[in-house]
Structure 1
Amino acid sequence: MTHPVFADVDTGVDDAMALTYLFASDDAEVVGIASTAGNVPVHQVCRNNLGLLQLCGLSGIPVSQGAEAPLSTPLRTAEDTHGPQGMGYARLPATEQRLTGHDAADAWVRAAQSHPGELIAIAVGPLTNLALALRKEPALPTLLRRLVIMGGAFDYRGNTTPVAEWNISVDPEAAAEVFGGWTAAWGGRPPAHLPIVLGLNLTENIAMTPALLNRLATAAGVTADPMSVHDERGARSASANPLIAVLEDAMRFYFEFHHDQGEGYLAHLHDPLAAAVALDPSLVECRATTVDVELTGTLTRGMTIADWSNRWGREHNALVGVGVDPGVFFDRFIDRVGAFARQVGS
C-alpha cells in the first residue's frame, strides 16, 4: 500500500538522505516538500530540494519555500556541519523545475486537506513552517495520519548547546507552538494520535560508517573503495552511479565534520531514521509523555523537557523514541536506496 507523504526539510546532508529514502520507498508517494531555513538559508534549501529531484529523475513533486527566518529570532545556519551549500562536497544538477506559487505553511495545509486522515508527514528541520501552518489551520493535527519530528534531546546532551538539539534550538518558539498546538487541536479531548518525536538520544545510534556506505554502493551495483580518515580531505567520488557519487561526496564532508568533533569517522543519520519511522513506526520503541520547550532559561533555552512522571498533570502530546535497532534500519535503508540508485543510474 502506498501512502501520501509530506516532507518538511532544511536540506542538509542527512535531509537529502531522508528524501532519497522516501523516493526509494514503494510504500511512499511524496506529495509535497516544504523548504525550511536551518542548515542553510531557505533559498539554498529550495535549490537543494529541486536539484535532488532532478538528480533522481523525478518531476511533479511540488516544492514550496518557507519563512526566511525563525518566528522571533535571527536565523543561525550550519555550513560548518553541512558545507557551504548544505550538501557537503556534492554538487547537484541544475534544473528547470520551479517552486510552487504558495508558501510552505500553505503547502502543509493543502497537503493535509487533500489527503484527510491519510497524510504522513515528517518535519526534520526547525519547526517554523509547521508552526505557521498551525496558525493558518489549528485543526491540522486532526487531518494527519502521522507526524514524525526529528528534534530535541531527552535525558541526553545537546549538539548545539549543552542541553539543546539543533532543530529545536534554531526556533524554540516554533517548537513550543507545535507541541502546545497538538493538544489544543483536539478541543480538550485526548488526541487520537500523537506525533512521534525522535531526539538525539535515539538518532545518534544511527551512525553511518565508511563500511556501511560501501555496502550501499555495492547494493547499487557499483564498486567503491571505503573512505578512510587518512584520505585527502575533500576527495571526490569516482562512482559511475550519479546518485551514489552525490551521496558519497556529501557523506565525506559529514564524516570529516564528525571526526573533527571527536566523534569518530562516522556520521549520524538523524533525518533518514525519521523518514523510515514515518513509513514504519515499529522501527522504534516509543514512550508517551508531555513535551515542552524551554524558552527563557539563560543556560537552557531550546531544551526539550519530557514530563516522564506527569508532574505537570497535562495531556500527553508526544511519543518520544527511546529504543531502536540500528542494524534493522541500515539493512532497510541500504536495500531501498541501493535499488533506487541502481534505477537512477540505469
Structure 2
Amino acid sequence: MTAYLLDVDTGIDDALALAYLAALPDTEFVSVTATPGNVDADQVARNTLALLELCGRPGVEVAIGARRPLSIPLLTTPETHGPQGIGHAVLPEPSGQVSERDAVDLWIEHARSRPGELTALITAPLTNFALALRKEPALPDLLANVVIMGGCFYYQGNTTPTAEWNTHVDPHAAKEVYAAYRGRPFDKLPIVCSLDTTERMEMHPEHVRQLAEAAGAVVPELVLPNQPEGQRSTSDNVLVRHLSDALRFYFEFHRLYDQGYLAHVHDFFAAGVAAGTLEYSARPATVDVETASPLLVGTTVADFRGLWGVPPNARVVSGNNPAQAFSELVSAVGDLAARVG
C-alpha cells in the first residue's frame, strides 16, 4: 500500500493522474490539496472531489491552502484546460464537501503522524508545499518520497520560451522548495518530472479508443481530428465519457498550437513515477529558479556537472518509456472504468 499526499490544480492531466492512482489497488489517498494554477483553488477543489467520487474514491479529504502565488498575481489557463479546468467535460456536483481545514496544516499533521510513510506528489505550482516547508522545515525528512511535475531544462518552455507552466505560476515558491532540499540525503531529494520527459507522454485518439475497449464500453470511443470541435462523447461508460470529453479539449488545444492532435499528459507520468509503476531514469542535479528577470522569470536551471559547487537538491528524470506507460494507463484506468461503470 502506498499512502499519498497529493497537491493538484485539477486540470485535465491532473484528472488523468488522479484516475490512474485511483485505479491502482494499493493506493491510499491520505489527503488531496488544491493549489491555484490551471483554475482557481476553489474550482480545483470541486473538480478534485467530483473526480475522486467518479473514480470510486468518495470520502477523501480535499482541502484548500493558498489562493494565490507567494509574490505575484495568479494566472490561470482556461484556454488550455477549459473554463472549469476539465475541458469539455462537465463533472457531476460532488456529494462531499471541501474540508474546512487548511491544506498546509494537513500536510504537516499527516507527515508528523506518519514519518517515513507518505509519498508526496505535486502536480501543481509549488505554493502550498513552499508554505508547508516554511512551517515545518523537517518535512523533507518526514516524507518517504517527493515527486514534482514541473520545470524544463534542455527543452523549450510551454508558457514562455524558457519556462514551464507550474513553475511560471509561482516561481518564488519553486525557488524556496529547491533551496529547502540543499544538503539533504540523496534518497530524500525530490524526483522532478520536467517537460524534457513529460512531453514524450503523447496521448493520441487511439489511446482513448483502447481505454474504452478495456473498460468494456459498448459504444466505440472515437475522438478524431475531423470531428467538430467540442463534440461530446456518447460512451455508455461514465468515466470514459468524462475523460474523453476532457481529453478532446486537450487534443484541440495542442492542435491549435501546431503540436498535433494529441495531449501531453504530464501529470499522469509523474503519478506513475510516484507509484513506481512506470519506467524512468533520473540524474542528480542542483536546481534553481529565476525570479528576477522579466525575460526569464520561471526558468528552471539544472547544474548536472557541479559547476556551482553546490550539492544536488533534486533527481531530474532524464528518460522514460512512453509505450510502457500508455499500456499501463489503458490497462489500469480501463479496469477502473469497468468497475465503476
Q: TM over 0.5, yes or no? A: yes
2:236 paired residue number = 240
1:3 paired residue number = 2
User: Which stretch shows the higher mean deviation, 45-54 or 206-215?
Assistant: 45-54
Counterpart residue type for residue 151 of structure 2: G
Alignment equivalent of 2:264, drawn from 268, 275, 286: 268
Alignment equivalent of 2:216, drawn from 212, 216, 221: 221
Question: Are the aligned partners of 1:90 and 1:247 in contact in 2 as well (CA < 8 Å)?
Answer: yes
Spell out, residue by residue over 1:111-164, the C-alpha distance to the aligned partner (whole angstroms, 9 max, x if none). 212321010111001000000000111100001111110000011000000000
- SS of 1:183's equivalent in the other structure is coil
Spell out, residue by residue over 1:213-250, the C-alpha distance to the aligned partner (whole angstroms, 9 max, x if none). 11111110014242111101110000011000000000
Question: Are the aligned partners of 2:55 and 2:340 in contact in 1 as well (CA < 8 Å)?
Answer: yes
- In structure 2, relative to structure 1, the CA distance for the partners of 1:282 and 1:342 (3 Å cut) is closer
2:59 paired residue number = 60
Spell out, residue by residue over 1:87-107, the C-alpha distance to the aligned partner (whole angstroms, 9 max, x if none). 001011112311222111112
Give distance in 2, aligned partners of 1:114 and 1:339: 33
- In structure 2, relative to structure 1, the CA distance for the partners of 1:198 and 1:281 (3 Å cut) is farther
Alignment equivalent of 2:255, drawn from 234, 252, 259: 259
Give distance in 2, aligned partners of 1:57 and 1:25: 12
2:201 paired residue number = 206
- In structure 2, relative to structure 1, the CA distance for the partners of 1:320 and 1:16 (3 Å cut) is same
2:172 paired residue number = 173
Question: Are the aligned partners of 1:54 and 1:93 in contact in 2 as well (CA < 8 Å)?
Answer: no
Give distance in 2, aligned partners of 1:225 and 1:306: 41
1:27 and 2:26 aligned: yes
Counterpart residue type for residue 205 of structure 1: R
2:42 paired residue number = 43
Question: Are the aligned partners of 1:71 and 1:171 in contact in 2 as well (CA < 8 Å)?
Answer: yes
- In structure 2, relative to structure 1, the CA distance for the partners of 1:290 and 1:169 (3 Å cut) is same
1:337 and 2:336 aligned: no
- SS of 1:290's equivalent in the other structure is strand
Provide the identity percentage: 49
Question: Are the aligned partners of 1:54 and 1:94 in contact in 2 as well (CA < 8 Å)?
Answer: no
1:328 and 2:327 aligned: no
- Compute the RMSD of aligned alpha carbons: 1.2
1:182 and 2:169 aligned: no
Question: Are the aligned partners of 1:30 and 1:61 in contact in 2 as well (CA < 8 Å)?
Answer: yes
Spell out, residue by residue over 1:44-73, the C-alpha distance to the aligned partner (whole angstroms, 9 max, x if none). 101101111222232221100121100010
Question: Are the aligned partners of 1:4 and 1:115 in contact in 2 as well (CA < 8 Å)?
Answer: no
2:124 paired residue number = 125
Give distance in 2, aligned partners of 1:331 and 1:115: 33
Give distance in 2, aligned partners of 1:303 and 1:78: 18
Give distance in 1, aligned partners of 2:5 and 2:225: 36
Give distance in 2, aligned partners of 1:95 and 1:167: 26
Counterpart residue type for residue 146 of structure 1: N
Q: Give aligned pairs, total.
A: 340
- In structure 2, relative to structure 1, the CA distance for the partners of 1:309 and 1:181 (3 Å cut) is same
Question: Are the aligned partners of 1:33 and 1:61 in contact in 2 as well (CA < 8 Å)?
Answer: yes
1:193 and 2:188 aligned: yes
TM-score by length of 1: 0.96
- In structure 2, relative to structure 1, the CA distance for the partners of 1:340 and 1:201 (3 Å cut) is same
Unaligned runs of 5+ in 1: none
1:13 paired residue number = 12
TM-score by length of 2: 0.97
- SS of 2:319's equivalent in the other structure is strand
Give distance in 2, aligned partners of 1:31 and 1:116: 13
Give distance in 2, aligned partners of 1:153 and 1:340: 32
Instruction: Kindly state the Cα deviation for residue 182 of structure 1 after the two structures are TM-superposed.
Output: 1.6
